[in-house]
Structure 1
């Protein structure tokens, strides 16, 4: 037997139904800090450090981002 159930709800409603925390204030603060940093000028060392933190595969991720930025500058 196969049963399909469709639930129409917003992401906010789904989050609350599953009991997940509301991370909106944290996300907004993080975005604000990123914008302030970018507007004040970002040093290449800061960018590399940030990419290392984002990189899911460590050095391979950093290499990917480095190539991406080098290609974009040409």
Structure 2
């Protein structure tokens, strides 16, 4: 004997019918926290943030910048001669 039963209900109604806990408040809290963290990380990878992090690696004065570039150039020239 085969019996088919179709029930139309929302996911919330199905959870309530089977006695499962309502996780919507927990889910909303977690999603809000994830959204906050994502926005914080997006600010870090904004063009201004990336530029600031890249510029912090370079020398601050023009003389230091010139010395760094000349050192890189001479290092590269010495490698090509070898």
Q: TM-score band, normalised by the shorter chain?
A: 0.5 to 0.7
Q: What TM-score comes out, normalization by structure 1 length?
A: 0.54
Q: Which runs of 4+ in 1 moved over 3 A?
A: none
- The structure with more radius of gyration: 2
The structure carrying a bigger helix percent of its residues is 2
Give the unaligned 5+ runs of structure 2.
45-82
Query: In structure 1, how many angstroms separate the alpha carbons of the residues matched to 2:24 and 2:12?
Result: 10
Q: What TM-score comes out, normalization by structure 2 length?
A: 0.49
Give the unaligned 5+ runs of structure 1.
44-74
- Corresponding residue for 1:39? 39
CA RMSD of aligned residues (A): 1.5
Q: Which of the pair has the greater relative contact order for Cα pairs under 8 Å at 6+ separation? A: 1
